[in-house]
A and B are shown apart, each in its own frame.
Chain A
Amino acid sequence: MLLRFFLMGLDRKAGIVLAILAFLAVVVPAMTLWVPADSPFHLSIFTVSLLGKYLCFALLALALDLVWGYCGILSLGHAAFFALGGYAMGMYLMRQIGPRGVYGNPLLPDFMVFLNWKELPWYWLGFDHFWFAALMVLVVPGALAFAFGWFAFRSRVTGVYLSIITQALTFALLLAFFRNDMGFGGNNGLTDFKDILGYDIQADTTRVALFVATVAALALSYMIASGVIGSKLGKVLVALRDAESRVRFMGYDTESYKLFAWTLSACMAGVAGALYVPQVGIINPSEFAPASSIEAVIWVAVGGRGTLAGAILGAVLVNMGKSYFTGALPELWLFALGGLFVAVTLFLPKGLLGLGAQLKAKLPGRKASTLPNAQPADQKGA
């Protein structure tokens, strides 16, 4: 049953994506750990962490594509779910520090000692167990998304309004996590991690393992997402993206469909955040910044909205560009990113993956094939 679910969404494109991911999962560890350092094929551990970071962003983009590309919900607050997952993981890593902090308090993280707190707040309890933290990585973003979506979809808040209140959500969380009394490290966030599952977080093998875990999470999420899209449920999602009221009039409970996709997407974003934090070594409130949510949207748009694979491609390409620009030409990065936003929306409405079809449509005598990301009818004049 479950197997059939996963296989249902698999097509040629999915095969290519999974093959590439499998290739990465084998080759990158080999090139880092077993190829000698002076060989041209050696990958530095820094590169591995960088790649891992890109793939975390790719997972976030995948989650976003699921709701934007297939349900027509443009979330401008997905970074909030990403950051919440990250904080859940960060709390586990903080508790793993134990008495090795600057103040050597076995129970309290450094920032709490610094703030003169006497005991661990209740919401930190349980985070010394990995399984609990891992559960929270899914549950916290998922629960928030469920509650938010439950209200929003039931009141039929759609389109731009929904986008704007997702911005409000992430902004409110940004402000909240900046507060010291929240008990999440305030401005500085959580950092100085030592161990994960008993392994040194700085060690090469741990970092490679984290990379492999990221690849695996991405592959699994991809299979789940394409399984959902390929199922009957996915067909309803695409239908309500294109003409929500018609689907509702046909008797479908559109809110529940949207709520399911929305919550699933938030959980994926949470996992992405949880994998991101140990690889970059810090989580702070700036991850909640409204701008970072919007930036994630452009990854999806660049790769191709409603393609899943395009989201992964877009996230990796844009972030590689960002790494290059901010290093080599920091002045130009915002121009490049801004230009990318404009160029993609004006000239590449279907993203890089849709480029072929877009060109084909331009040729005389041929009609564009009906792509899943055809222009949603309801959005016209909205």
Chain B
Amino acid sequence: MRRALRWLMAVCVVAATSTAAFAADLRPLVQALGSGGYSGTEKALAQLSEAGDPAAVPAIEALQAGDLYVRKADGTVVVARKAGDAFTLTDPLTRAALGEAPAGAVEKIRINNSLRRAISASLGALTLMSPDAGVRRSAADAVFKSRDASALETLSAAIAKEQDKGVRAAMEQARAAILLTGEAASKMTDADIQSATDTLTARGDRDALVLLNMVAGSGASDVTKKLAAAAVSTLEQKLAFWAALQNLWYGLSLGSVLLLAAIGLAVTFGVMGVINMAHGEMVMIGAYTTFLVQEFFRAHAPGLFDLSILVALPAAFLVSGGVGIVIERSVIRWLYGRPLETLLATWGLSLALQQAVRSIFGPTNREVGAPSWMSGAFELGGLTITYGRLWIVVFAFAVFAALLVALKRTWFGLSIRAVTQNRPMANAMGIRTARVDALTFGLGSGIAGLAGVALSQIDNVSPNLGQGYILDSFMVVVFGGVGNLWGTLVGALTLGTMNKFLEPYAGAVLGKILVLIFIILFIQRRPRGLFALKGRAVEA
């Protein structure tokens, strides 16, 4: 869809730029459209087609739409569109505004059925012969959709002349569509039918499938039907394969979002055992930090806007981490060993933080822009992958890897693990446990802030941003197994993929409900999650 729009835009741009240069040569021909009745119009039309200049396309299109008029005063041909009682006039070639005219001052150039056919043929010819590959491509696509048999001749001529591989393929597909559905089908040889169905199978999208299905149902001959049916089954398999891959990609994408949101929680909840219900708000603070950084860039260095996200990452880490440390020092440290109380206190904090952000920034969504290297999409086989999502997947895995290294390979990580495993012993070995607690909580919150930067790209930046993720994050951590980073990774990806694979069958909401029920049941089977820490304690 988006591609089609882009081609359409290209058509307009090309038409507009070439207008000025060729307007002079075409002017008399366009002028001739308005004289001599039907036959005069038809003759002028044929000459316009022969001239082969796409600049005439807007004028012919206006003729087709019944918007082409003759101004009675001087006999000029104009494009007129009704605006209230009067008409707004524009020049058919240059598109310059020519003022307004009352209804009586212009006369419509009328067209009949034979003219209508001539118009579509000449439009097809003009656009199929256009020097611009984009225009030819969109013309070919249009013919594919309309399957207008009258375009067949022009199409064949265009295919013979075509140099661009992609455009020629589109044209051949259009021709195959016309051949298979039109009257010509009964006269085709088996080999021709075979090659036509092959062309359509190669196209490999839903449009081709719909078309082949139609042919398989009501083809001209039994051979056509049989070949089309075979092509349908090949194509269906191919489409199912790509659809599964697309689902997998969506699942990976959702899974990485879940991973980002949950990974900070895996530190505070998984490693420290603190139920931080304000975790979502740390994400939200990270998103708002991104917003502030972008505002700063917009105001002071708009040229460097693409770098704003890179600056926002450390900023969000520090801001959220700082808030986390303040929370740990002021509230949570008094509540160690009382997880349920911690849950309530941090829930209270989350309410206060939400309201604070609402009071400062207002309740409405804030606009966070995407840098140019994160917008757009590319195609990979039958997959459409947006750069934004791709970067989030990459980022999620990068954060995961960095955290893993930090916990396993650094002195700080060693201290965290020591304090988690045996607090008094770690204390006796000279580790300042209170400081490690504060820094660990800060680390978890800071990672939540990083998640906020990423989520600001795909979600609304509002005070409620965090609330949408908190429950999912807990599900991921609990499902994966508390105290195990790998469990969080597997949990996030599993839940994300499961969600996306259920969606086509059950719908988004029911899919989500099913996933929740699955988690509830799963916890019954394995009360300590997928990768439970093994121990001999009766109650961990």
Contact = CB atoms under 8 A, between A and B. Distances in A.
A70 to B, nearest CB: 14
A321 B406 CA distance: 46
Q: Which residue, B335, B352, B356, B517, has most C-beta atoms of chain A within 10 A?
A: B352
A341 B348 contact: yes
Q: Is the interface of A mostly helix, strand, loop or mixed?
A: helix
B197 to A, nearest CB: 40
Given A74-B340, A163-B343, A171 B352 contact: no
B345 A163 contact: no
B355 A168 contact: no
A345 B345 CA distance: 6
A155 B527 contact: yes
Contact of A157 (B354, B524, B540): B524
A167 B340 contact: no
A124 to B, nearest CB: 20
Q: Which residue, B331, B337, B339, B516, has most C-beta atoms of chain A within 10 A?
A: B516
A287 B340 CA distance: 23
B85 interface: no
Interface residues of A, number: 53
B471 A168 contact: yes
A339 B352 contact: yes
Contact of B331 (A168, A291, A342): A342
A159 B352 contact: no
A21 B275 CA distance: 38
Interface in A313-367: 331, 333-335, 337-342, 344-346, 349
B527 A161 contact: yes
Interface string A144-185: 000010011011111111011101110110011011000000
A172 B511 CA distance: 10
Contact of B538 (A74, A172, A245): A245
A168 B340 contact: no
A164 B355 contact: no
B341 A160 contact: no
Contacts of B341: 345, 349
A341 B527 contact: no
B520 A171 contact: no
Contacts of A301: 344
B361 to A, nearest CB: 13
B474 interface: yes
A379 B471 contact: no
Interface in B324-347: 331, 334-335, 337-345, 347
A340 B344 CA distance: 10
B348 A379 contact: no
Interface string A84-109: 00000000000000000000000000
A111 B415 CA distance: 60
A290 B277 CA distance: 12
B348 A244 contact: no
Contact of A338 (B349, B519, B528): B349
Nearest to B538: A245
Nearest to B509: A175
B473 to A, nearest CB: 10
A150 to B, nearest CB: 10
Contacts of B339: 159-160, 379, 382
Contacts, number: 137
A295 B510 CA distance: 26
Contact of B340 (A160, A175, A341): A160
A161 B331 CA distance: 22
A294 interface: yes
A272 to B, nearest CB: 21
A163 B510 CA distance: 23
Nearest to A166: B520
B433 to A, nearest CB: 14
A381 interface: yes
A378 interface: yes
A152 B509 CA distance: 25
B348 A156 contact: no
A165 B523 contact: yes
Nearest to B355: A334
Contact of B338 (A157, A175, A379): A379
A301 B513 CA distance: 30
B513 A172 contact: yes
A158 B538 CA distance: 12
Contacts of B520: 148, 151, 165, 168-169, 172
Q: Which residue, B275, B521, B523, has most C-beta atoms of chain A within 10 A?
A: B523
B230 to A, nearest CB: 39
Given A165-B520, A167-B471, A175 B350 contact: no
Contact of A245 (B352, B516, B539): B539
A154 B513 CA distance: 23
Given A160-B339, A164-B474, A167-B474, A346 B345 contact: yes
Contacts of B355: 331, 333-335, 338
B516 A297 contact: no
A338 B516 contact: no
Nearest to B517: A172
Nearest to A248: B538
A379 B340 contact: yes
A277 interface: no
Contact of B539 (A294, A298, A349, A378): A378
11 contacts: A158-B527, A160-B339, A165-B519, A168-B475, A178-B509, A179-B509, A245-B538, A334-B352, A335-B352, A338-B355, A380-B337
Interface of B: 273, 275, 277, 331, 334-335, 337-345, 347-356, 359, 467, 471, 474-475, 478, 509-510, 512-513, 516-517, 519-521, 523-525, 527-528, 538-540
Given A164-B478, A334-B352, 5 more contacts: A168-B471, A172-B512, A176-B509, A345-B348, A346-B334
Interface of A: 74, 76, 148, 151-152, 154-161, 163-165, 167-169, 171-172, 175-176, 178-179, 244-245, 290-291, 294, 297-298, 301, 331, 333-335, 337-342, 344-346, 349, 375, 378-382
